[in-house]
């Protein structure tokens, strides 16, 4: 019988159980139930989620922190990527002592304005981080509960929108898996846009987390047949059922039903009319269930990386989140990985633009296509300007995805690229079809909170390089 075991042995056994299993075991008899208030038991559960500083939650016990916050919300911790049309988006959740709990921040960049320095076209920038959400604990003089707060400007002017005056708060949901995919209708052309996630390109998807432990709600569904001929708009986006199933996701509903998403003020508007929340299955268009961006857990391994001059250099050492410069589209987020079966390195867009959207392989190269200096199409001075010290760089011939606006099937193309591994944390890609445009891609190594400037809900990182 468990209740006859020594305390130290019980503690060892409890370390092997999940929080839910511990609660079940300790309620089986009165003698074990006394351990429910043993904070050491719950401290060990909290440590599983890298929570060790109890001062973040004012006057809370480890039991309260685990049972009221971490048990439900720990899967939030880390990065999340959305399926927002074309651009996608990234949000991040982390512990924060100033907000006394877990905060959610949206990553944001601004497109380049006229008159910018041309160097800005080739060098990626770190994102700004804007707090939009937090979960903390209620005051200790009341029955403790988790409190969700929304840090949005109720009476501000959006960066790209009109003034807002929200009378209600946003809500967070977990929606079921879905077979809905995104389409663009442009004039008489119908184009299916890349699925995100694509079941064949899910190396970035973090299977160790998944959505928080909230009730799973049914994802919105359109009619099986969409009669898009009912719409006169020149260019518009719509949803339709396909054979591709995407997993359950985290979704944020705006304060006003059918209103703009809470992330809209941090990004440029779409360049096509957004009719995703309309159903065209009848004789005339009608308002259908709302489609908001779905967020999926994003892996963020931070590897040391290998020196490209080392004979033992391994392509798998490149894996992780990288930030890349995309001309006037500004900085975009990539997931770089090694496809062992194909012996190729690929960079998949986590965020994208209206030429090449999120979910697309932006560039790739085979290990079999390593270039020697005299095989490059550049003369020596140009090669040195592009890649720097040629004796310290690995260069491969590869390909890149290019497209006119909209990513319409007939307008997609492939560029010959020369891809240089400059060092552990930098890659340069010479896009030969884009007037020899050579942007830089830099490994994202996470946050340096101490170096960030705080301005209200906004955190601005120090200059990267």
Question: How far apart are alpha carbons 146 and 100 in whole angstroms?
Answer: 11
Residues 6+ apart with CB under 8 A from 381: none
In a domain, 397, yes or no: yes
Mean pLDDT of 340-355: 98
Q: Give 30 or 347, the one with higher predicted confidence.
A: 347
153 domain residue, yes or no: no
CA distance 219 to 294: 10
Q: Which residue has the higher pLDDT, 342 or 162?
A: 342
Looking at residue 95, its pLDDT comes to 96
Look at 263-277, 310-324, 439-453 and tell me which has the smallest mean pLDDT: 263-277
Domain boundary among 41, 76, 111: 76
Q: Any residues with CB less than 8 A from the CB of 374 and at least 6 apart, and which?
A: none
Report how far residue 329's alpha carbon sits from residue 74's, in angstroms, rounded to the nearest whole number. Answer: 33
What φ, ψ does residue 187 adopt, rounded to 5°? 55, -120
* 346 within domain boundaries: yes
Q: What pTM, to 2 d.p., does this model score?
A: 0.92
The predicted pLDDT at position 118 comes to 55
Separation of alpha carbons 189 and 137, rounded Å: 52
**Residues paired with 336 in a beta bridge:** 320, 347
- pLDDT the model gives residue 256: 80
Can you give the pLDDT at residue 39? Answer: 87
Pairwise CA distance, residues 465 & 321, whole Å = 17
Question: Is position 425 within any domain?
Answer: yes
Q: How many domains does the chain have?
A: 2
Q: Could you tell me if residue 53 is inside a domain? A: yes
Instruction: Please indicate, yes or no, if residue 87 is contained in any of the structural domains.
Output: no
For 197-250, the pLDDT digits (tens) are 999 999 999 999 989 999 999 999 988 777 887 777 788 999 999 999 999 999
Q: How confident is the model at residue 3 (pLDDT cuts 50, 70, 90)?
A: low
pLDDT interval class at 463 (50, 70, 90): confident
Evaluated on CA atoms 258, 263, 267, 270, the torsion sign reads negative
Q: How far apart are the first and last CA of the chain?
A: 62
The partner residues of 459 in beta bridges, in order of sequence, read: 129, 454
Give the mean model confidence (pLDDT) for residues 252-257.
Answer: 87
pLDDT at residue 168, rounded to an integer = 63
Distances (CA, A) of 3 to 20, 29, 30, 117: 19, 8, 9, 71
Q: Give the span between the Cα atoms of 248 and 212, in whole angstroms.
A: 11
Range of the domain at 62: 2-76
CA dihedral of residues 284, 285, 288, 290 (deg, nearest 10):
180
Higher-pLDDT residue of 178, 34: 178
Residue 164: pLDDT band with limits 50, 70, 90: very low
Question: What proportion of the chain, given as a percentage, has pLDDT over 70?
Answer: 94
How far apart (Å, rounded) are the C-alpha atoms in residues 84 and 249?
A: 13
At residue 155, the pLDDT reads: 45
CB 452 within 8 A of CB 441: no
- In whole numbers, what is the pLDDT of the chain averaged over residues? 89
Classify residue 320: in a domain, yes or no.
yes
CB atoms within 10 A of CB 98: 10
Asked whether residue 308 is assigned to any structural domain, the reply reads: yes
| Cβ–Cβ < 8 Å for 331, 124 | yes
- Omega before residue 197 within 30° of 0, cis: yes
The two most distant CA atoms of the chain are separated, in Å, by 81
pLDDT of residue 217: 97
Q: How many CB atoms lie within 10 A of CB 69?
A: 25
Give the model confidence (pLDDT) of 72-113 as tens digits.
999 999 999 999 999 999 999 999 999 999 999 999 997 655
How much is the pLDDT for 94?
A: 97
**Each residue's pLDDT tens digit, 43-64:** 999 999 999 888 899 889 999 9
Least confident of 26-35, 299-308, 351-360: 26-35
d(CA 134, CA 115): 38
At 156, the pLDDT band (50, 70, 90 cuts) reads very low
SS3 21: helix
How many whole angstroms from its chain centre is CA 160? 22
């Amino acid at each position: 019988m468990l209740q006859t075991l020594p305390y130290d042995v019980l503690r060892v056994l409890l370390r092997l159980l999940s929080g839910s299993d511990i609660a079940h075991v300790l309620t089986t008899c009165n003698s074990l139930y006394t351990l429910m208030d043993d904070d050491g038991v719950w401290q060990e559960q909290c440590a599983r989620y890298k929570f060790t500083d109890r001062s973040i939650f004012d006057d809370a016990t480890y039991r309260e922190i685990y049972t009221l916050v971490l048990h439900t919300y720990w899967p939030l911790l880390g990065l999340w990527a959305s399926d927002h049309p074309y651009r996608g988006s990234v949000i991040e959740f982390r512990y924060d002592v100033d907000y006394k709990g877990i905060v959610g921040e949206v990553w944001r960049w601004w497109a380049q304005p006229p008159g910018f320095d041309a160097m800005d076209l080739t060098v990626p920038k770190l994102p700004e981080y804007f707090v939009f959400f937090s979960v903390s604990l209620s005051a200790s003089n009341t029955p403790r509960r988790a409190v969700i707060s929304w840090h949005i400007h109720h009476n501000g002017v959006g960066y790209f929108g009109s003034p807002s005056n929200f009378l209600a708060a946003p809500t967070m949901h977990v929606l079921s898996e879905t077979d809905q995919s995104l389409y663009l209708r442009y004039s008489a052309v119908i184009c299916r846009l890349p699925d995100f996630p694509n079941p064949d390109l899910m190396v970035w998807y973090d299977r160790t987390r998944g959505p928080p432990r909230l009730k799973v709600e049914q994802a919105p569904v359109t009619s099986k047949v969409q009669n898009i001929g009912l719409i006169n708009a020149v260019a518009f986006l719509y949803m339709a059922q396909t054979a591709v199933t995407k997993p359950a996701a985290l979704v944020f509903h705006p304060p006003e039903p059918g209103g703009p998403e809470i992330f809209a003020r941090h990004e440029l508007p779409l360049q096509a009319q957004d009719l995703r929340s309309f159903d065209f299955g009848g004789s005339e268009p009608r308002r259908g269930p709302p489609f908001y961006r779905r967020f999926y857990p994003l892996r963020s391994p931070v590897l040391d990386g290998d020196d490209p001059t080392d004979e033992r250099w391994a392509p798998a050492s490149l894996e992780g989140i990288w930030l890349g410069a995309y001309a006037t589209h500004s900085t975009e987020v990539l997931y770089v990985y090694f496809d062992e079966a194909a012996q190729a390195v690929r960079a998949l867009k986590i965020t994208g633009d209206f030429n090449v959207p999120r979910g697309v392989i932006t560039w790739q190269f085979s290990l079999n296509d390593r270039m020697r200096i005299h095989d490059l199409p550049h003369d020596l001075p140009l090669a040195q300007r592009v890649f720097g010290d040629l004796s310290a760089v690995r260069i491969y011939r590869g390909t890149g995805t290019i497209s006119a606006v909209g990513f319409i099937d007939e307008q997609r193309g492939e560029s010959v690229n020369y891809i240089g591994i400059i060092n552990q944390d930098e890659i340069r890609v010479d896009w030969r079809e884009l007037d020899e445009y050579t942007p830089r891609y830099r490994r994202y190594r996470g946050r340096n909170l101490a170096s960030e400037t705080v301005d209200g809900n906004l955190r601005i990182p120090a200059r990267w390089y």
